């Protein structure tokens, strides 16, 4: 009833908005510790409950009509009135000047009403789901989930993108052309065909973003075409200064906690107590020395699942997961367990402590049962300088190494601000892989 009343006010020129703070977050971030496992993914295929869907990034083609689904858990174990709001952003993820009515079909304030209570878990929680409504414009968006009674209390924010392929993108991923980087870095060459799409100044109008493994901390921006073939309506990006290269990194480490009745892959032991379970991941070591070792991974993603019932949403328990990295202490530098469960951010949640008796770093993180990719990152020791100028928050090379033989996934985003438009639109998108093995 309230929603219809608000719509009536909007249609009659009476604009009613919740009171929000001016500086709204536009990055992936969780602001309350009781909110866990925030998933945002496209619903694909005929099996909406398939946990593998979460391996896809929250990027959808508007012309196909694919829907995004949000899922998250509230460990207060009591119902709370959550609401959702959307922000439109430009290419650099700064909030655009568009009004809500310019990019939404409905009033921009949605109740989250689909919830379930966890079953047979030692850690009780409420599990929430929310289908993302369709947006009018292609571009970047941020989903805010906040307290219905206090709009300034934002619980978390999640990024997603919607595109319409108005330009064509063809690309190849290969080893870096520079002999010095051939065994460590990977290079993305691509072309953009704008036939049928009007550009006033082709060499300047398009803004390019390349992202590695769906990670917003691993992006390249500011690329300009090396050749403009005006008669063919084609832009070539084959950069001789190697600004289109990425450190290859290493295959992600992983572990499997889908069951607590036995040890999953790379789980050393599980302690089952009355009030909680604790899983000890097998002790890790440094991988930056020696030869590259081929292993399969999820390219830095994770899957929530419960092996006995396959109802991971409400029957996967929260487990205290212990990580151990055997290495000597690194002076004043800080070591982190890095992964998608924390949006690849380095903070108190995943900071490790040095244990002299073990001669190793350790961290305990509460994670829902599933299969997780992760690696280790160091803050306080600058990473090797990248030719692309990426602003890396941590040094993964020190522990994990860089290998051009690593399997990685890359995305190319093409943005354009049409004449008379007031915001950037996502007019081209392409995913490619390198060293694909499956």
The pLDDT assigned to 387 comes to 73
pTM of the model: 0.93
Domains 19-163 and 253-379 share a fold: yes
Fold exhibited by the domain 19-163: Immunoglobulin-like (2.60.40)
How many whole angstroms separate alpha carbon 39 and alpha carbon 58? 9
Q: What is the pLDDT of residues 218-235, one digit of tens each?
A: 999 999 999 999 999 999
The pLDDT assigned to 47 comes to 74
Task: Determine contact, residues 175/187, Cβ cutoff 8 Å.
Answer: yes
Q: What is the pLDDT of residues 301-325, one digit of tens each?
A: 999 999 999 999 999 999 999 999 9
CATH architecture group of domain 253-379: Sandwich (2.60)
Domain coordinates in residue numbering, the chain: 19-163, 168-246+409-434, 253-379
Fold exhibited by the domain 168-246+409-434: Immunoglobulin-like (2.60.40)
Task: Determine contact, residues 228/235, Cβ cutoff 8 Å.
Answer: yes
Q: What is the pLDDT of residues 363-374, one digit of tens each?
A: 999 999 999 999
Asked whether the predicted pLDDT for residue 126 surpasses 50, the reply is yes
Asked whether the predicted pLDDT for residue 81 surpasses 70, the reply is yes
């Amino acid at each position: 009833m309230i929603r219809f009343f608000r719509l009536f006010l909007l249609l009659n020129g009476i604009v009613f908005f919740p009171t929000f703070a001016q500086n709204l977050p536009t990055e992936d971030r969780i602001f309350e510790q009781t909110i866990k496992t925030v998933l945002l993914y496209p619903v694909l295929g005929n099996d909406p409950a398939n946990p593998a869907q979460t391996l896809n990034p929250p990027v959808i083609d508007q012309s196909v009509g694919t829907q995004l689904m949000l899922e998250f858990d509230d460990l207060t174990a009591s119902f709370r009135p959550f609401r959702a709001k959307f922000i439109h952003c430009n290419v650099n993820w700064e909030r655009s000047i568009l009004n809500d009515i310019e990019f939404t079909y409905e009033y921009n304030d949605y109740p989250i009403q689909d919830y379930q209570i966890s079953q047979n878990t030692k850690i009780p929680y409420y599990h929430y789901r929310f289908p993302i409504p369709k947006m009018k414009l292609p571009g970047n968006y941020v989903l805010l989930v906040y307290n219905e009674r206090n709009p300034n209390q934002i619980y978390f924010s999640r990024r997603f993108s919607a595109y319409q392929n108005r330009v064509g993108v063809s690309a190849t991923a290969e080893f870096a052309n520079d002999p010095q980087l051939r065994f460590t870095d990977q290079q993305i060459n691509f072309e953009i065909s704008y036939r049928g799409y009007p550009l006033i100044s082709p060499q300047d109008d398009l803004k390019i973003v390349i992202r590695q493994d769906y990670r917003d901390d691993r992006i390249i921006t500011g690329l300009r075409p090396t050749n403009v073939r005006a008669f063919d309506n084609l832009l070539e990006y084959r950069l001789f200064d190697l600004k289109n290269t990425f450190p290859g990194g290493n295959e992600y480490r992983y572990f499997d906690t889908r069951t607590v009745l036995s040890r999953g892959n790379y789980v050393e032991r599980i302690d089952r107590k009355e009030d909680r379970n604790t899983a000890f991941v097998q002790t890790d070591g440094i991988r930056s020395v020696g030869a590259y070792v081929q292993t399969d991974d999820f390219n830095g993603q994770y899957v929530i699942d419960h092996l006995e019932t396959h109802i991971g949403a409400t029957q996967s328990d929260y487990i205290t997961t212990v990580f151990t990295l055997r290495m000597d202490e690194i002076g004043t530098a800080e070591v982190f367990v890095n992964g998608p469960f924390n949006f690849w951010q380095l903070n108190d949640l995943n900071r490790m402590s040095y244990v002299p008796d073990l001669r190793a770093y350790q961290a305990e993180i509460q994670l829902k049962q599933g299969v997780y990719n992760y690696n280790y990152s160091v803050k306080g020791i600058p990473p090797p300088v990248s030719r692309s100028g990426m602003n890396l928050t941590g040094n993964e090379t020190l522990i994990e190494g860089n290998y051009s033989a690593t399997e990685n996934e890359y995305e190319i985003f093409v943005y354009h601000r049409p004449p008379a438009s007031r915001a950037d639109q996502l007019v081209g998108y392409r995913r490619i892989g390198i060293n694909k093995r499956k």
